[in-house]
């Protein structure tokens, strides 16, 4: 009976065993299918073949499971000092192109920027691109030294900077990018526009290229080059925040008009240096900042190139700035006609001779619309004494076109704003 019992037992175990094997095989098949399915998805996501993906996993497993060898053992890996690699280019073609363009234009423009060292009498020095070193005599008789910047205007040594940099200088030293120092002579300066021209004895200098504010757009990228805090050839970048700004700096001078506002870092020492566009053209001469601390707060201003080169050319030609004048006083326009209300016409001056009358609204100056008193002043500063200009006047419901010939402002005619360098 025992034999029969044991045969029955084996007969009952056999189906269970086979069933268990089938389940195990099914599970293995499911695992393999799941693995292959997952591998396929990963290869699609990573855009590689399943074989390449398997090789990568295999290498990773090998690296992570390999037992670290102790220092001193044969074949032990020791920590090596990282090596400096060759510069890599960005995978983003547009970003790399932008980077290359910026560095290239800085290389092209920098030789046109100089450092100016100064000694000045009775004036606070807020210097700026050539490096311009100045010395200034204070009210107590002491000498202050400062540093500013300048832009090479011509190959034969004329340099544009700010009046507040060089206008009252006792001594001016210019350092160009090749490290050479030159004693500079003050040719002339204008306090109203904050433009000064100095001259060094040099030839074949790299002069800057200039472009009009008419070509400047809000939001475009700009670069400032200068000597902030006497740190020469410093490059900062930002954007044009606004154009056509006006600021009344002093009750003794005309308001500064047509200014370019930028968030580019401008600090003491940048004054007189260029604000350039991504084409390497000077769009303005850095002049002042709004700041509670006296250093960059993201609000800086530049004199547009139109005004800067016009005043500079006058100084070079006449030894002083000759501000144009038409002989009117401007009032507040409360009408719905956009333009400048003429409240007074001065007898004997161009406006009077052209037939302009009090109460007229000046709507265009040399073809350019003018809506405010500051815009009219900005347009006048772009012209020269002797220019014949067409203007549009609104009077009694109709527009009249007139021609005026600009004369020199009685202010500059009677009180020249040229500053002559001492002992020169």
Per-residue pLDDT reduced to its tens digit, 41-99? 766 666 666 666 666 654 444 444 445 555 555 555 555 667 666 655 555 657 778 88
DSSP state of 218: T
What is the average pLDDT value for the chain, to the nearest integer?
81
At residue 424, the pLDDT reads 30
Query: Whole-angstrom Cα distance, residue 413 to residue 296?
Result: 37
- Of 114 and 326, the structure prediction assigns the larger pLDDT to 326
Q: Which residue has the tokens 């060089």?
A: 166
Q: What angle do CA 219, 220, 226 make, to 5 degrees?
A: 115
Measured CA to CA in angstroms, residue 154 lies from 18, 25, 237, 310, 347 at distances of 100, 90, 25, 14, 40
- CATH of 107-199 given 2.40.10.10, 3.40.50.280, 3.40.50.1970, 3.40.50.720: 2.40.10.10
Where are the extended beta strands (E) located within 248-336?
Answer: 256-262, 274-277, 282-289, 300-304, 324-325, 328-331
At residue 92, the pLDDT reads 60
Which one from 112, 128, 144, 164 is the annotated catalytic residue?
164
The answer to whether 271 is a known catalytic residue is: yes
Sign of CA dihedral 260, 261, 262, 266: positive
At residue 84, the pLDDT reads 65
Q: Which residues contact 356 (CB under 8 A, 6 or more apart)?
A: 328, 342, 345, 362, 391, 393, 402, 404
DSSP state of 210: B
> What is the pTM for the complete model shown?
0.70
Measured CA to CA in angstroms, residue 181 lies from 75, 116, 161, 344, 369 at distances of 60, 9, 17, 52, 46
Which one from 192, 194, 306, 392 is the annotated catalytic residue?
194
At residue 387, the pLDDT reads 96
CATH of domain 324-408: 2.30.42.10
- Of 305 and 107, the structure prediction assigns the larger pLDDT to 305
Share of the chain above pLDDT 90, in %: 50
And the tokens for 59? 């290498």
Which one from 241, 271, 305, 409 is the annotated catalytic residue?
271
Query: Whole-angstrom Cα distance, residue 277 to residue 274?
Result: 10
At residue 117, the pLDDT reads 78
pLDDT value at 127 more than 50:
no
Query: Whole-angstrom Cα distance, residue 302 to residue 140?
Result: 32
CATH of domain 213-315: 2.40.10.10
Are the C-beta atoms of residues 315 and 321 closer than 8 Å to each other? yes
Measured CA to CA in angstroms, residue 80 lies from 77, 83, 88, 93, 230 at distances of 9, 9, 22, 33, 41
407-410 LR contacts (CB < 8 Å, sep 24+) = 407/324, 407/325, 407/326, 407/327, 407/349, 407/350, 408/322, 408/323, 408/324, 408/325, 409/322, 409/323, 409/324, 409/325, 410/325
Sign of CA dihedral 22, 28, 30, 33: negative
Q: Which residue has the tokens 């009694």?
A: 396
And the tokens for 399? 């527009």
pLDDT value at 421 more than 50:
no
Task: Give me the torsion for CA of 152, 154, 160, 166, rounded to 10°.
Answer: 90
At residue 102, the pLDDT reads 83
pLDDT tens digits, one per residue of 175-206: 988 889 999 999 999 999 999 999 999 999 99
pLDDT tens digits, one per residue of 27-54: 887 788 777 767 667 666 666 666 666 6
- Of 211 and 254, the structure prediction assigns the larger pLDDT to 211
Are the C-beta atoms of residues 237 and 181 closer than 8 Å to each other? no
What pLDDT band is residue 420 in, cutting at 50, 70 and 90? very low
At residue 4, the pLDDT reads 43
Are the C-beta atoms of residues 268 and 234 closer than 8 Å to each other? no
And the tokens for 148? 């500013």
Query: Whole-angstrom Cα distance, residue 153 to residue 175?
Result: 15
């Amino acid at each position: 009976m025992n034999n029969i019992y044991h045969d029955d037992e084996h007969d009952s175990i056999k189906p269970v065993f086979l069933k268990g094997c089938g389940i195990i095989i099914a599970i293995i098949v499911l695992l393999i299918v799941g693995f292959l399915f997952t591998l396929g998805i990963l290869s699609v996501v990573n855009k590689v073949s399943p074989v390449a993906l398997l090789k990568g996993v295999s290498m990773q497993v090998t690296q992570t499971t390999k037992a670290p060898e102790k220092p001193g053992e044969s074949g032990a890996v020791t920590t090596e000092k990282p090596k400096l690699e060759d510069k890599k280019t960005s995978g983003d073609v547009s970003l790399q192109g932008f980077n290359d363009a910026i560095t290239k234009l800085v290389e092209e423009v920098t030789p046109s920027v100089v450092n100016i060292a100064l000694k000045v009498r009775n004036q606070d020095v807020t210097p700026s691109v050539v490096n311009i070193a100045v010395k200034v005599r204070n009210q107590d008789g002491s000498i202050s030294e400062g540093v500013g910047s300048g832009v090479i205007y011509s190959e034969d040594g004329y340099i544009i900077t700010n009046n507040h940099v060089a206008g009252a200088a006792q001594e001016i030293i210019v350092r160009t990018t090749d490290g050479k120092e030159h004693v500079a002579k003050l040719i002339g300066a204008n306090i109203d526009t904050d433009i000064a021209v100095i001259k060094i004895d040099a030839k074949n200098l790299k002069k800057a290229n200039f472009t009009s504010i008419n070509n400047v757009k809000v939001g475009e990228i700009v670069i400032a080059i200068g000597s902030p805090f006497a740190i020469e050839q410093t490059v900062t970048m930002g954007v044009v925040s606004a154009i056509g700004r006006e600021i009344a700096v002093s009750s003794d001078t005309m308001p500064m008009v047509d200014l370019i506002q930028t968030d580019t870092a401008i600090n003491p020492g940048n004054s007189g240096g260029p604000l350039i566009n991504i084409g390497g053209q000077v769009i303005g001469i850095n002049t002042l900042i709004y700041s509670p601390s006296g250093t960059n707060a993201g609000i800086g201003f530049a004199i547009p190139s139109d005004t800067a080169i016009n005043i500079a050319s006058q100084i070079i030609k006449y030894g002083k700035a000759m501000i144009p004048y038409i002989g009117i006083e401007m009032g507040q326009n409360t009408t719905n006609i956009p333009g400048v209300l003429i409240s007074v016409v001065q007898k004997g001056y161009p406006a009077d001779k052209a037939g302009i009358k009090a109460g007229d609204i000046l709507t265009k100056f040399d073809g350019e619309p003018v809506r405010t008193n500051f815009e009219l002043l900005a347009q006048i500063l772009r012209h020269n004494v002797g220019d014949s200009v067409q203007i549009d006047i609104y009077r009694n419901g109709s527009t009249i076109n007139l021609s005026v010939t600009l004369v020199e402002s009685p202010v500059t005619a009677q009180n020249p704003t040229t500053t002559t360098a001492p002992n020169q």
